Structure formats: structure tokens, C-alpha cells
Amino acid sequence: MSIPFAPLVNGVPQHVQQEYDQFFAQKSLPFRDDEPLIGNPDCSWKSVQKHMLRACPFKLEDMVFKERLGDGIDGVVFKVSIDSAPYALKVFWDVEIPGERTSYAIQKECWNSALLQMMGAAIAQSEEPIYLKPEIESRKDALYNTQACHKRVEKTLLLFSSRNTFY
């Protein structure tokens, strides 16, 4: 009895190569927008799917560095003051997309921050309650909460392909 083997691509199983290719394709997706971070973000589903972080309206010369709060694998965090208001500023070590086995931390954090800003704005602007799942146990739960927060919740079930993934 022979054991079936997965087809090989570049000497590795096809499904492994596909996951590898998808991982690198995600790294090249845009994550920052030149639009300044002033006012509420666009909470349409189209914007939620892109989830790009808008540009910081502050200038580097307006920041007064107070202290170093900590550091880690991705970068260092400083406490800064802008117009007498305290902020945390994260400076990332990687300025270019890193190599093979690492994710691009600044990209992931920008995407997450953009999504949280959109969700916060949608909740604040909503005239009706938005019901969220308080305990996220799966990717499906996270997508449910994301969909519940955008302005124009579609009435039909949204199907997600590999192009519409959230990280």
C-alpha cells in the first residue's frame, strides 16, 4: 500500500509553499495612509478592509522626550509630551521589511491601531447599541466584532477569502 504525497513546489509540499507565499504577500500590503489623523476615520466596510493608519498630525520637533518606558523585540517606547499632553511613542527597530521567518511588526501594529480607531469611532457615532462578543475565542469572533462596528453593517453574511484577512 503506497502513501499518497502532496505535490511538491520548489521541493516542498504545495500547501506549505502556498502558506509561505501568502505570508510574504501580506508583508508587502500597505499599512499607512498620508491622510492626517484628524477627526473621525472613515468607518465604511471598504476602509475597514484596507485598515490603513492615518498620518500622525504632530511634528517630531513638537515632541518633548520625557523618558524611556521600555523596549522589546520590535522596538523601544518613549514617553513624550506634545502641547503638554502625554503620549507613548514607539520607535521600531525594522525600517525595512524583515526577512523570511519574522512578521513586520510596524505593519501589524498600524493595522491593529487603524482598526481600533475605526471601531471606536463607529461605537461613538452609533445611534443604536452595538453588540459585541466580550470574549473572543476565535478569528470568527474577532471578525464578528469588526463587522458589528463598521457604519454600514451588511445584512448578508460576508464571506472572507484569503484576500480579506485581518491580522
Name residue 63's beta-bridge partners.
Answer: 82
Question: What are the φ/ψ torsions at residue 6 (nearest 5 degrees)?
Answer: -70, 145
pLDDT at 146: 80
Name residue 123's beta-bridge partners.
Answer: none
Name residue 76's beta-bridge partners.
Answer: 71, 91
pLDDT at 131: 81
pLDDT at 65: 94
In whole angstroms, what is the distance from residue 47 CA to residue 49 CA?
5
Residue whose C-alpha is closest to residue 159's, from 50, 52, 49, 51: 49
How far from chain centre, in Å, is Cα 84? 29
Grid cell, residue 53, equals 493608519
pTM for this structure? 0.66
pLDDT in tens, 22-47: 666 666 777 888 888 888 888 777 77
pLDDT at 160: 38
Q: Block means of pLDDT (10 residues each) for the chain, length 167 residues? A: 57 66 67 86 79 86 94 93 92 78 79 86 80 86 80 38 42
pLDDT at 72: 92
